Amino acid sequence: MKIKFNHIQDLSDARYAAAAMSEWIGFRVGEIPLASVQEIIGWCAGPKVTLEIYNKDLKETAISWCDILPVEAIECKAEDLAFWQEALPNPSYEWIAADTQYATVHSQPPITITLVDPKLTSPQTIKELQPEAISLNCEKETVVGMKNYDLWNDLLETLDIW
């Protein structure tokens, strides 16, 4: 099963994603500074660097991030896919079109990513669904330097990823 970690906030999330052998790590354009993204990916290898673009007003920012970062995938709303493919015409990008429950990776064959919230969905339920891939949201630290990965650990253990 492939894993995508969404809107990485800090190095801890990126390292956790790399340790979980995730396929993608996503950075939401405009959510954290470009310098922070550069620093995080400088310390973390493995997952595909993915830009998550959910605001067409950030077109110029997205273009500049693509020029600076080693971007391998672009995620956007399904209805905005054509817009972003025209704005960022790189044939090597993997395209991920998302709606509220699923994302589709435009590859051969296409991969469906199931959006999962470990707070609301039990690991056993996720295992029973047998998704091709899952997507997990990273959250900002509530206490600086402290994050609780217990729910993710339980989920990855149940899914036989750990």
Nearest to 30 by CA among 64, 62, 75, 69: 62
25 contacts 16 by C-beta, under 8 angstroms: no
List the structure tokens of 157.
């253990």
Give the residue from 41, 43, 42 showing the smallest Cα distance to 24.
41
**Phi, psi torsion values for 137, nearest 5 degrees:** -90, 130
Residue 87 has pLDDT above 90, yes or no: yes
Q: How far is CA 99 from the centre of its chain?
A: 14
Give me the phi and psi of 117, to 5 degrees please: -120, 105
The pLDDT value recorded for residue 93 is 95
Question: Mean pLDDT over residues 43-51, rounded?
Answer: 92
Would you list the DSSP string of 29-97? TTTS-HHHHHHHHHH--SSEEEEEE--GGGHHHHHHHHHHS---EEEEEGGGHHHHHHHS--TT-EEEE
Average pLDDT over residues 66-76: 96
Q: Which span out of 42-51, 109-118, 152-161 was modeled with the highest average pLDDT?
A: 42-51
Q: What is the mean pLDDT of residues 144-157?
A: 80
For the cut 70, the answer to whether the pLDDT of residue 144 exceeds it is: no
Which distant-in-sequence residues (6+ apart) come within 8 Å of 82 by Cβ? Answer: none
Residue 84's pLDDT is 97
pTM here is 0.89
- Cα 117 from Cα 135, distance rounded (Å): 8
- Residue 127 banded pLDDT, cuts 50, 70, 90: confident
Higher-scoring residue by pLDDT: 140, 6: 6
Angle ∠(9,84,105) on CA atoms, nearest 5: 70
List, in sequence order, every residue forming a beta bridge with 74; answer none if it has no partner: 51, 95
Which tokens in the block code for residue 143? Answer: 């206490």
> In order of start, what are the domains of the chain with their CATH numbers?
2-158 (3.20.20.70)
Q: What tens digit of pLDDT does each residue of 93-121 get?
A: 999 999 878 889 998 788 999 888 888 87
